């Protein structure tokens, strides 16, 4: 049986995330209630696992670290077809940077048991660091391929995958167990179905805190993070806008004239 762990993250809904802003006066974050959703690229990671399960005997664990509210996205993974859901939630985990996050997730993966494949989304929409997948691989001493856009060969322990380059690709041969971070080109994530949602209601989500992982408090959360945010600042624009007015036709004609006057068009 192939043991798969999919690392998923609850992120502020990108459609509404623009409401989180730096206060120009206090230079602190003006927080507001933005609902948490499953990170978009993590859906591709889930889909990769589900497609493997359709071909082979596989067991899928959806693993997330986050606040108690993140349970919703773990349940969504169960509804999509994950066999097990684990949420790492503890005050001690709060404020983690990519390094401390990867360390905590890697510790949990080691606790889950022998794992063959770890899938992660290539990046998260809120942090967008791309570091968690490769750093998990480092802590577990596993090989990693980032930005996987195609799984070419996945029979046996020797996989071949294509990893995306800006224009082109790398063809990589990987010995399992291994970590893969995936791009949106890899697949088209399936939609939730009602029967899945009903089934997921019966599955329980395991919650692990710092004591369950047996890690020192200095190694996780803000304390375990090499990087910190030292300052927030706002940027000022140096341009004064001229809003073109009139009917649609007039605005288009004016804009074309402005473009022509610039001498560039």
Partner 1 sequence: MMKNIYGPVWVIAEQRDCRIRTVSLQLMGQAQKLAAGLNTTAEAVLFGNLMQHHVRPLFAAGANRVFLGSNPRLAFYEPEIYVQAIVRLAQEHEPEIILLGSTAMGRELAPLVAARLQTGLTAHCIDLVFDENNILEQHIPAYGGLLSIICPQKRPQMATIAKGVFPMPEPDPDRSGEIIPVAVPEDVSPRLQTLEVVHQIPDEIPLESAAIVVAGGAGAGDPDGWRQIADLADALNAALGCTRPVVDEGWAPLESMIGQSGRMVSPELYIGVGLSGEQQHMVGITGAKVMVAINNDAKSPVFDQVDYGVVDDCRAFVPVLIKKIKAYQKNQVTC
d(CA 175, CA 160) in angstroms, rounded, equals 9
Site for partner 1 in 196-225 (CB under 8 A): 225
112 binds partner 1 (CB under 8 A): no
Hey, which residues between 51 and 90 contact partner 1 (CB under 8 A)? none
Identify which of residues 115 and 145 has a Cβ nearer to partner 1 in the complex: 145
Separation CA 70–CA 8 (nearest Å): 10
Kindly write out the interface string for residues 161-180 of this chain, putting x where it contacts partner 1 by CB under 8 A and - elsewhere.
--xxxxxxxxxxxxx--x--
Of the ranges 46-54, 65-73, 93-101, 206-214, which one interacts with partner 1 (CB under 8 A)? 93-101
- x/- contact string, 122-161, with partner 1 (CB under 8 A)? -x-x-xxxxx-xxx-xxx---xxxxx------------x-
d(CA 265, CA 260): 5
Burial of 95 (C-beta count, 10 Å sphere; 0-12/13-18/19+): middle
Distances (CA, A) of 110 to 45, 99, 164, 184, 212: 19, 16, 28, 27, 12
264 in helix, strand or coil?
coil
From candidates 184, 190, 203, 207, binder to partner 1 by CB under 8 A? 184
Position among 35, 68, 91, 234 found at the interface with partner 1 (CB under 8 A): 234
Among 109, 183, 213, 221, binds partner 1 (CB under 8 A): 183
Total chain residues near partner 1 (CB under 8 A): 77
DSSP structure class, residue 83: S
Least CB distance from residue 100 to partner 1, whole Å?
A: 10
Distance CA 265, CA 188 (A): 39
């Amino acid at each position: 049986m192939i043991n798969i762990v999919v690392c998923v993250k609850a992120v502020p809904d990108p459609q509404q995330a623009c409401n989180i802003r730096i206060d120009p006066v206090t230079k602190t974050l003006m927080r507001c209630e933005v609902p948490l959703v499953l990170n978009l690229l993590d859906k591709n990671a889930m889909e990769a696992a589900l497609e493997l399960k359709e071909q082979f005997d596989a067991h899928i664990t959806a693993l997330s670290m986050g606040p108690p509210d993140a349970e919703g996205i773990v349940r969504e993974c169960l509804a999509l077809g994950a066999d097990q859901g684990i949420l790492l939630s503890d005050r001690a985990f709060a404020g983690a940077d990519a390094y401390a996050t990867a360390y905590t997730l890697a510790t949990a993966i080691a606790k889950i048991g022998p794992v063959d494949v770890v899938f992660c989304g290539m990046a998260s929409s809120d942090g967008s660091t791309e570091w968690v997948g490769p750093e998990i691989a480092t802590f577990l001493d596993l090989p990693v391929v980032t930005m996987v856009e195609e799984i070419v060969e996945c029979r046996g322990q020797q996989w071949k995958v294509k990893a995306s380059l800006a224009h082109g690709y790398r063809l990589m041969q990987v010995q399992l167990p291994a970590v893969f971070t995936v791009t949106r080109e890899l697949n088209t994530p399936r939609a939730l179905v009602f029967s899945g949602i009903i089934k997921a209601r019966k599955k329980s989500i395991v919650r692990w805190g710092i004591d369950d992982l047996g890690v020192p408090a200095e190694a996780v959360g803000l304390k375990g993070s090499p990087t910190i945010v030292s300052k927030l600042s706002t940027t000022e624009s140096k341009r004064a806008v001229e809003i073109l007015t009139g009917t649609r036709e007039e605005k288009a004609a004016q804009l074309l004239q402005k473009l022509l006057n610039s001498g560039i068009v």
